[in-house]
Amino acid sequence: MDAIDRSIINTMQGGFPICEHPYAVAAEQLGIEEAELIERLGRMLEKKQLSRFGPMYHAERLGGGLSLCAMRVPEADYERVNEQVNAFPEVAHNYARDHEFSMWFVLATETPERVEETCKEIEQVTGYRVYNMPKKEEFFVGLKFEV
Amino acid sequence: MSVSSLKSDMPAESHNLDELDRKIIRATQGGLPLVSEPYQQVAEEVGTTAQEVMVRMQRMLDSGAIRRIGAVPNHYTLGFRGNGMTVWDVPEEKVQQYGRMIGELDFVSHAYHRPRFLPEWRYNLFAMVHGSDREAVKEKVAAIAELLGEDNRAHEVLFSTRILKKTGLRIAGG
């Protein structure tokens, strides 16, 4: 990764233009050619230095539900519960964390009501309580990650 | 064609998405095509014109349905190997004040106010803290603790030990 790659990451986390030739416009701001920008983005995606390039959608504003949920799952039961939780298509991400609250997953549902329903279904299947922790407020800046 | 000339006169109502909007979302949620005319390619995929795709994406950007368009860096492969979910018990009436303060720190990517579940879960403020390793994260957590002073009644850092599942967004009507 060289200075141009770093500059792409640092300056292109938002504001990508919506126009016929957006890469050409963005490339000009970076002082490089359109083809070079496209090539560099492709390479950084391939190397997983970027996890994505494009629009970031806001799940709740698309009419769906979104919540962070946690469960206290003992080690002995972990694999069973993990399989049962992951089997729900509403579970978008699931992380093991080193805490008594050991399983943390994000529910992304097609309607807001489905969040509560899915929590109840997961409780029934697994036998463990689901702590539903939807955000009450978001303090999001997020455009400042620098390399 | 400039962005401003694409402004639509249709209301920026977030849940007024129609089937074509949903098709555009599904076609782009994994990323924009890396070609000279990416909106044209999306238009071909969903069966409309580039102009229509641009108008609709601009409208979703204006309404907040799209947060932003650009590069999403992968913290982990870029050398930020320590990523801790920090959780804080602060007085409920000061959550907003502290959330904003912590959200502005350059090593914090997101901060959220979330409900407590007493007595098992006392934490009402969450912040994702990034550092080169766990030690670096712990130093940053100490810096946050100092900022909060006495209003930090308790805090913990939960490191992820495994990714159990990771998929994309789900869009209704799919």
- Mean pLDDT for the stretch of residues A130-139: 96
Residue B59's identity, in one-letter code, is R
Mean pLDDT of B89-95: 97
- Model confidence pLDDT, tens digit, residues A76-107: 999 999 999 999 999 989 999 999 999 999 99
Average predicted confidence (pLDDT) for chain B: 87
**Protein fold of A59-133:** Alpha-Beta Plaits (3.30.70)
3-class DSSP assignment, residue B9: coil
Q: Which residues of B touch A38 (CB under 8 A)?
A: 34-36
* Angle (nearest 5°) at CA B116 between A136 and B131: 75
More confident residue, B4 or B19: B19
Nearest CA in chain A to B29: A55
B14 to chain A: which residues are within 8 Å by CB? 61-63
Q: Do A15 and B70 touch (CB under 8 A)?
A: yes
As a whole number, the mean pLDDT across chain A is: 93
**Cα torsion at A48, A54, A59, A64 (round to 10°)?**
-110
Residue A116: pLDDT band with limits 50, 70, 90: very high
Mean pLDDT, residues B72-81 taken together:
83
Q: Check A103 against B100: CB less than 8 A apart.
A: no
Contacts of A137 in chain B (CB under 8 A): 95-96, 99, 112-113
Whether B30 sits inside 8 A of A52 (CB atoms) is yes
- In contact, A36 and A24? CB cutoff 8 Å: no
Chain A positions in Cβ-Cβ contact with residue B68 (cut-off 8 Å): 13-15, 55-56, 143
> pLDDT at position B111, please?
94
CATH 1.10.10 for domain B15-63: yes
Inter-chain residue contact B164 with A95, CB threshold 8 Å:
yes
Q: Residue B78 — very low, low, confident or very high, per pLDDT cuts 50/70/90?
A: confident
Give the pair of three-digit tokens for residue B124: 């009402």
**Candidates 3.40.50.1820, 3.30.70.920, 3.30.365.10, 3.20.20.80; correct CATH number of B82-159?**
3.30.70.920
Q: How many CB atoms lie within 10 A of CB B118?
A: 7
Q: What percent of chain B has pLDDT over 70?
A: 87
| Residue whose C-alpha is closest to residue A17's, from A28, A4, A5, A32 | A28
Domain boundaries, chain B: 15-63, 82-159
Examine the pLDDT at B171 and tell me if it is beyond 80.
no
A72 and B32 in contact by Cβ < 8 A? Answer: no
Mark yes or no for CB contact A93/B58 under 8 Å: no
Tell me the domain boundaries of chain A. 3-46, 59-133
Q: What is the pLDDT of residue B120?
A: 96
Q: How far apart are CA B100 and CA B117, in angstroms?
A: 23
What pLDDT is recorded for position B106? 85
Query: What average pLDDT does this structure show over B106-115?
Result: 92
The C-alpha of A24 sits at a distance from chain B's nearest C-alpha, in angstroms, of: 7
* Rounded mean pLDDT, B151-170: 85
Q: pLDDT at position B169, please?
A: 56
Q: For residue A74, is pLDDT > 70?
A: yes
Query: Token match 């907003």: residue?
Result: B96
pLDDT per residue as tens digits for the range B29-63: 889 999 999 999 999 999 999 999 999 999 999 99
**Taking CB atoms and an 8 Å limit, are A137 and B67 in contact across chains?**
no
Of A38, A49, A68, the CB nearest to B34: A38
Report phi then psi at A93, rounded to 5. -130, 150
ipTM exceeding 0.90? no
Q: Which chain A residues are within 8 Å of B61, Cβ to Cβ? A: 18, 55
| pLDDT computed for residue B11 by the predictor | 38
The whole-number pLDDT of residue B76 equals: 78
Nearest chain B residue to A39 by CA distance is B34
Both tokens of B134, joined, read 């766990």
Is residue B161 predicted with pLDDT exceeding 90?
no
User: Which residues of chain B have a CB within 8 Å of the CB of A21?
Assistant: 36-37
Q: Where are the alpha helices (DSSP H) in B1-104?
A: 19-28, 38-46, 50-63, 95-103
Task: Please say whether the beta carbons of A11 and A29 come within 8 A.
Answer: yes
Pick from A93-97, A124-128, B170-174: least confident: B170-174
For residue A117, the Cα-to-chain-centroid distance in whole angstroms is 22
pLDDT score at A145: 63
Q: What is the pTM of this model?
A: 0.80
pLDDT at residue B174 above 70? no
In the predicted model, is pLDDT for residue A37 greater than 60?
Answer: yes
Q: Best residue in A33, A58, A62, A86 to probe B by mutation, most B CBs within 10 Å?
A: A62
